């Protein structure tokens, strides 16, 4: 029987947030942003262990109390210079005690509003899949491509277009091979696609957005507070 593990790359600087500390440590609903995704993933019963990938130079982690999550949490200070590098380094560590067929769910630290139901739905849909897949959302807006002058150069059809989210769920052996072959990707699915495989798209909703800009904090705070009051 394959087992399930999660990797949360959190070794980025989050420069688009324009803050002094890396965005994963900004305060969100009374906790560091990173807490929320880790807490959700550690509550998913089928996930055995959640590995958080920090930069070797990270000086923020120790500032907070992670004890309530510690039972299922593993801290890996093996972050690389890119997101794909951070994930590949974590996979190398995990390969020591996981089987190539075990499933790995990679989730952005900055998608703080992830829910257990979304993760359960992903696992349910993909547990017997030959390739794996990802949470994603069909594009609702009309898409524009910009020209160099900041004006619209073209309207791009939104038909069959999806926004990729995370978690992205693949078997450890396949994901290692894919990231070794294609280290320049911005998500795991991109590396798997480059092997000629077609990851499955599992529809999620907009609440699983990636906190990127300062105004995203207020929206995430509203979502998290509304849930905790419900």
Residues at the site binding ligand C5P, with contacts judged by CB under 6 A:
9-12, 14, 24, 53, 79-83, 86, 108-110, 210, 212
Return d(Cα 86, Cα 10) in angstroms, integer.
8
Q: Rounded to the nearest whole angstrom, what is the least distance from the CB of residue 38 to ligand C5P in the complex?
A: 11
| Closest CB to ligand C5P among residues 24, 208 | 24
Shortest Å distance, C-beta 100 to ligand C5P:
23
64 or 124, CB closer to ligand C5P? 64
Nearest to 120 by CA among 49, 228, 69, 45: 45
Question: What angle do the packed helices 116-126 and 33-43 form, to 10 degrees?
Answer: 50
Q: State in angstroms the smallest separation of the CB of 193 from ligand C5P.
A: 18
Distances (CA, A) of 91 to 96, 189, 191: 9, 15, 14
Question: Closest Cα to residue 70, out of 45, 99, 38?
Answer: 38
Kindly state the smallest distance separating residue 89's Cβ from ligand C5P, in Å. Answer: 9
CA 80 to chain centre: 16
Round to whole Å and give the CA distance between 228 and 121.
21
Smaller CB separation from ligand C5P, 10 or 223: 10
Q: Which residue, 2 or 81, has its beta carbon nearer to ligand C5P?
A: 81
Residue nearest to ligand C5P (CB): 12
């Amino acid at each position: 029987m394959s087992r399930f593990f999660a990797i949360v790359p959190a070794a980025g600087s989050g420069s688009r947030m324009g803050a002094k500390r890396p965005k994963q440590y900004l305060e969100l609903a009374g906790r560091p942003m990173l807490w929320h995704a880790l807490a959700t993933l550690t509550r998913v019963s089928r996930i055995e262990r959640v590995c958080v990938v920090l930069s070797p130079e990270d000086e923020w982690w120790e500032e907070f109390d992670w004890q309530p999550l510690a039972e299922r949490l593993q801290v890996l200070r093996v972050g690389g210079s890119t997101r794909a590098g951070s994930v590949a380094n974590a996979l190398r560590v995990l390969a020591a005690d996981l089987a190539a067929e075990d499933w790995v769910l990679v989730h952005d630290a900055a998608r703080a509003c992830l829910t257990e139901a979304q993760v359960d739905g992903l696992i349910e849909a993909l547990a017997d899949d030959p390739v794996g897949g990802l949470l994603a959302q069909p594009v609702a807006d009309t898409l524009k491509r910009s020209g160099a002058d900041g004006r619209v150069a073209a309207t791009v059809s939104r038909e069959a277009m999806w926004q990729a989210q995370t978690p992205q769920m693949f078997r450890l052996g396949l994901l290692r091979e894919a990231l070794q072959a294609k280290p320049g990707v911005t998500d795991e699915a991109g590396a798997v696609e480059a092997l000629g495989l077609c990851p499955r798209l599992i529809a999620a909703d907009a609440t699983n957005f990636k906190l990127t800009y300062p105004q995203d904090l207020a929206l995430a705070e509203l979502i998290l507070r509304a849930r905790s009051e419900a």
